[in-house]
Amino acid sequence: MTTLLSLGHGYCAQALARRLIPQGWRVIGTTRDPERACALRADGVEPLIWPVEDLGPVLAQVSHVLASVAPGPEGDPVLARYRAELGAARLDWLGYLSTTGVYGDHQGGWVDEHTPLTPTTRRGHQRVAAEAEWAALGQPLHVFRLAGIYGPGRGPFEKVRNGTARRILKPGQVFSRIHVEDVAQVLEASIKQPHPGAVYNLCDDDPAPPEDVLAHAAALLGLPPPPAEDWDQAEMTPMARSFYAESKRVRNDRIKADLGVRLLYPDYRSGLAALLAQGG
């Protein structure tokens, strides 16, 4: 049985598991919450309470590893504790979920996988360092740089409905985004067509200003657009404001050319329409 160990079994990993398990895969997912283990079992995932004393015996059972844990100021927390065990494992595929934040600010310009990494935020710098740490393991690494992720439970409709959504206006600001099901299908395609050392941008075809997305979500609900606020005057958390410090359009040609991926939701309009139809 082909087995995937999902380190940090979160939103994207859950979507991937829903694809793999019906195909006969065994999926082991880590969680720090013992109560969440029941939910994982209900989804067909074998829970592994994190951290474990010795990861070696677990790795001896797996062929594929997906790492979704975010790095911190001290580096990647998984590698800090289990670098030797991961380096010694015999893996067919290793995936690491990173972010397009590694490219930094390009004032609305286009970036691709060959663009130099010039992050401007602390999180971006941590991701660049983590990518290098994982690459140094000597395993068949595949890096996936994700744009903003949305999907069931992570759409804009709830905030639009309850009146808490705001259209933050910053001239020239654009974001790339991707539906979680498209993340999952790219990961599945890479597993089936591994290219060790590959780096892929995961985003849709339509980078857009965030205020346009919220306005469209409101229109789908038959509601007026959320109130608009100028970026330099809006009250925002430091985390939220940091996202507006960078503006870029991300190219996704490689996932199409190398993996044959055809996006399920090539733009936010099709993605939001699907979420609403699914009860989003």
Range 3-150+178-203+250-264 classified under CATH 3.40.50.720: yes
Residue 11, C-beta contacts closer than 8 angstroms, at least 6 positions apart: 149, 151, 154, 180
- pLDDT at 280 (0 to 100): 58
**Summary count for the chain: helices (H), strands (E):** 11, 13
- pLDDT at 1 (0 to 100): 77
Q: Give residue limits of the domains in the chain.
A: 3-150+178-203+250-264
The number of C-alpha atoms within 13 Å of 144 and in the hemisphere containing its C-beta is 31
Check whether the bond before 47 is cis (ω within 30° of 0): no
CA angle 274, 272, 199 (to 5 degrees): 95
- pLDDT at 277 (0 to 100): 95
Which of these, 28, 32, 66, lies nearest to 50 by C-alpha position? 32
pTM of this prediction exceeds 0.75: yes
* Residue ranges of the chain with per-residue pLDDT less than 70: 280
